[in-house]
């Protein structure tokens, strides 16, 4: 990090700890846009609820009111570890504290697959419980549409060695104990499950297509702006950190409800999209396909400087020579959406996600294996955005990946509802296309 950027980060940290969040935001905006970060922070206008794509800023990982619980962070110079990457934060509102549940051992690995052990859903039995306490209150921002008769939108929690997270689970009215597909939806920064469900309209589509939908909830204790910690090395590994929580939560739902094991999918927006990619890489035997909207590839950051570089440049390669890719582990089909006017996460990250999903390059490919077949289509949403859709298929027609580049769109869920945050109703319909792609790509049958 250069000297002006470092100076700006330290000043932003001081402002944040003093509770001057708007001033810290304005300071970081000027710095990232080429201004002098050490200038006095100009008065910023309050967040209106409509996202501004360039509102990327950095905040101390602790809310100001929590300084006394970790006083050691006040001693000595600030470091990159004192910051987290977040999306725009609305005007301050009361924060819900995470429910501290008892720790539990990680799910036991199956001896039949030592390299990629499967979770044993039965081993998680007894950890599911209706959630009471702070998380039982209605979550902030948008609210999903009223439930159809017979449908449920449950609230529960999951605990393992890495921590506790709440979640919402949509159960369609058509569910009567028969196995249904499951879609795991990871929200973006400052969002929560209710807001994400409202904005994506995934519940309404799941009601029509007869799917369960799981919405894990990040906590303000894990990240002050409730971002999934995609950029931390400890949250990029199998059986560690947030990936272990999300995967364990997925298997907990498989234990409490009938789920079609060949049709479990994961998707996310922004930081949630980056974490969805990590889930596909670290648990390829669990998720049959992945949807990434305005996200980043797996393991392109380990700290603040590398995260900023990946977000702003979109040219980062996975850090560390042994970083797994989807192609290098087990095939997981991927569908990617990204706006070409996204100034929060560079659209080049969408290209990098696609590259990470491709089969090995020619020198590594099995001799005689054909190149993927590429088809490019262009379209226009009536009175909305134009788009370029690129399909990557194997020679037998099986999907490898699908890339939707939306022309004129920023950092928002394409085709979403204005009742949720970070949405662009001008389409195309990312929710519908992701669901279509998911259901077209179940996990292949495995002999034995």
State the CATH number of the domain containing residue 282: 3.40.50.1820
Residue 94 belongs to some domain of the structure: no
Of 78, 113, 130, the last residue of a domain is 78
- How far is CA 347 from each of CA 274, 297, 320, 352, rounded to the nearest angstrom? 13, 12, 23, 9
Instruction: Give the pLDDT of residue 372.
Output: 87
Whether 68 and 131 map to the same domain: the answer is: no
Q: How many CB atoms lie within 10 A of CB 416?
A: 26
Of 78, 99, 129, the last residue of a domain is 78
Cα(321)–Cα(196) distance, integer angstroms: 35
| Dihedral class, residue 163 (left if φ above 0, else alpha if ψ from -120 to 50, else beta) | left
Instruction: Give the pLDDT of residue 47.
Output: 33
- pLDDT-based confidence at 301, cuts 50/70/90? very high
Instruction: Give the pLDDT of residue 20.
Output: 64
Cα(416)–Cα(426) distance, integer angstroms: 8
Cα(289)–Cα(182) distance, integer angstroms: 11
Whether 244 and 315 map to the same domain: the answer is: yes
Q: Give yes or no for a contact between 107 and 159, defined as CB atoms under 8 angstroms apart.
A: no
**Sheet strands (E) in 78-218:** 83-86, 152-160, 163-171, 180-186, 212-217
Lowest mean pLDDT among 63-67, 197-201, 355-359: 63-67
Whether 61 and 134 map to the same domain: the answer is: no
Instruction: Give the pLDDT of residue 330.
Output: 61
What torsion do the CA atoms of 243, 191, 209, 292 make, to the nearest 10 degrees?
Answer: -50
Whether 72 and 169 map to the same domain: the answer is: no
Phi, psi of 281 (to 5 degrees): -75, -40
> What does pLDDT average to over the chain?
75
Residue 209 has, within 13 A of its CA and on its CB side, a CA count of 24
Those residues whose C-beta lies under 8 Å from the C-beta of residue 288, and which sit 6 or more positions away, are: 262, 263, 264, 265, 332, 333, 438, 441, 442, 443
Whether 150 and 43 map to the same domain: the answer is: no
3-state secondary structure of 301: coil
Give residue for tokens 């769109």: 409
Instruction: Give the pLDDT of residue 84.
Output: 36
Cα(286)–Cα(109) distance, integer angstroms: 13
Whether 431 and 297 map to the same domain: the answer is: yes
Whether 413 and 274 map to the same domain: the answer is: yes
Lowest mean pLDDT among 35-39, 237-241, 415-419: 35-39
Phi, psi of 382 (to 5 degrees): -55, 125
Residue 349 belongs to some domain of the structure: yes
Instruction: Give the pLDDT of residue 334.
Output: 97
Whether 315 and 430 map to the same domain: the answer is: yes
Residue 89 belongs to some domain of the structure: no
Phi, psi of 103 (to 5 degrees): -75, 155
What is the residue range of 36's domain? 3-78
Q: How many structural domains are present in the chain?
A: 2
Cα(381)–Cα(223) distance, integer angstroms: 36
Instruction: Give the pLDDT of residue 15.
Output: 67
Residue 110 belongs to some domain of the structure: no
pLDDT digits (tens, 9 = 90+) for 328-353: 446 689 999 999 999 999 999 999 99
Instruction: Give the pLDDT of residue 34.
Output: 55
Residue 305 belongs to some domain of the structure: yes
pLDDT at 185 over 80: yes
Whether 373 and 432 map to the same domain: the answer is: yes
Instruction: Give the pLDDT of residue 253.
Output: 98
Q: How many CB atoms lie within 10 A of CB 69?
A: 8
Instruction: Give the pLDDT of residue 259.
Output: 98
Residue 216 DSSP one-character state: E
Highest mean pLDDT pick, 14-23, 126-135, 151-160: 151-160
Cα(42)–Cα(174) distance, integer angstroms: 54
Whether 56 and 153 map to the same domain: the answer is: no
What torsion do the CA atoms of 197, 266, 361, 340 make, to the nearest 10 degrees?
Answer: 0
Of 78, 105, 137, the last residue of a domain is 78
Whether 40 and 156 map to the same domain: the answer is: no
Whether 319 and 417 map to the same domain: the answer is: yes
Residue 106 belongs to some domain of the structure: no
- How far is CA 208 from each of CA 100, 102, 142, 173, 203, rounded to the nearest angstrom? 36, 38, 21, 9, 9
Residue 220 belongs to some domain of the structure: yes
Those residues whose C-beta lies under 8 Å from the C-beta of residue 26, and which sit 6 or more positions away, are: 41, 42, 43, 44
Residue 88 belongs to some domain of the structure: no
Q: Give yes or no for a contact between 118 and 285, defined as CB atoms under 8 angstroms apart.
A: yes
Q: Give yes or no for a contact between 142 and 183, defined as CB atoms under 8 angstroms apart.
A: no
């Amino acid at each position: 990090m250069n000297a002006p950027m470092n100076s700006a980060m330290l000043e932003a940290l001081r402002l944040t700890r003093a509770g001057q969040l708007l001033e810290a935001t304005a300071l970081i905006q000027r710095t990232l846009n080429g201004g002098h970060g050490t200038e006095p922070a100009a008065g910023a206008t309050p967040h209106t609820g409509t996202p501004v794509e360039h509102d990327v800023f950095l905040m101390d990982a602790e809310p100001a009111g929590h300084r006394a619980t970790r006083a050691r962070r006040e001693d000595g110079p600030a470091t990159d570890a004192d910051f987290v990457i977040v999306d725009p934060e609305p005007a301050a509102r009361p924060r819900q504290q995470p429910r501290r549940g008892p720790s539990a051992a990680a799910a036991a690995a199956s001896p039949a697959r030592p390299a990629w052990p499967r979770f044993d859903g039965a081993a998680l039995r007894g950890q599911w419980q209706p959630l009471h306490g702070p998380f039982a209150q209605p979550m902030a921002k948008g609210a999903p549409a009223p439930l159809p008769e017979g449908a449920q939108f449950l609230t529960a929690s999951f605990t393992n060695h890495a921590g506790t997270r709440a979640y919402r689970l949509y159960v369609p009215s058509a569910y009567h104990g028969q196995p249904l597909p499951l879609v795991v939806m990871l929200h973006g920064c400052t969002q929560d499950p209710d807001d994400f469900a409202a904005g994506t309209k995934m519940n309404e589509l799941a009601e029509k297509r007869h799917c369960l939908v799981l919405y894990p909830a990040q906590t303000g204790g894990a990240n002050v702006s409730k971002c999934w910690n995609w950029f931390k090395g400890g949250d990029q590994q199998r059986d560690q950190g947030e990936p272990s929580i999300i995967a364990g939560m997925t298997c907990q739902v498989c234990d409490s409800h009938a789920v079609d094991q060949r049709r479990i999918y994961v998707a996310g927006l922004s930081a949630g999209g980056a974490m969805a990619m990590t889930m596909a890489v670290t648990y390829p035997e669990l998720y049959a396909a992945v949807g990434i909207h305005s996200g980043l590839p797996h393991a392109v950051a380990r700290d603040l400087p590398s995260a900023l570089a990946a977000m702003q440049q979109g040219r980062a390669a996975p850090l560390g020579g042994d970083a797994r890719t989807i192609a290098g582990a087990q095939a997981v089909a991927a569908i990617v959406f990204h706006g070409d006017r996204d100034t929060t996460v560079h659209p080049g990250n969408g290209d990098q996600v696609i590259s990470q999903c491709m089969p090995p390059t020619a020198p590594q490919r099995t001799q005689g294996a054909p190149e993927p077949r590429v088809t490019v289509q262009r379209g226009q949403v009536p009175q909305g955005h134009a788009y370029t859709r690129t399909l990557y298929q194997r020679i037998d027609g099986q999907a490898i990946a699908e890339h939707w580049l939306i022309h004129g769109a920023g950092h928002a869920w394409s085709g979403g509802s204005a009742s949720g945050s970070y949405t662009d109703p001008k389409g195309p319909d990312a929710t519908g296309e992701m669901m279509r792609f998911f259901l077209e790509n179940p996990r292949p049958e495995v002999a034995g």
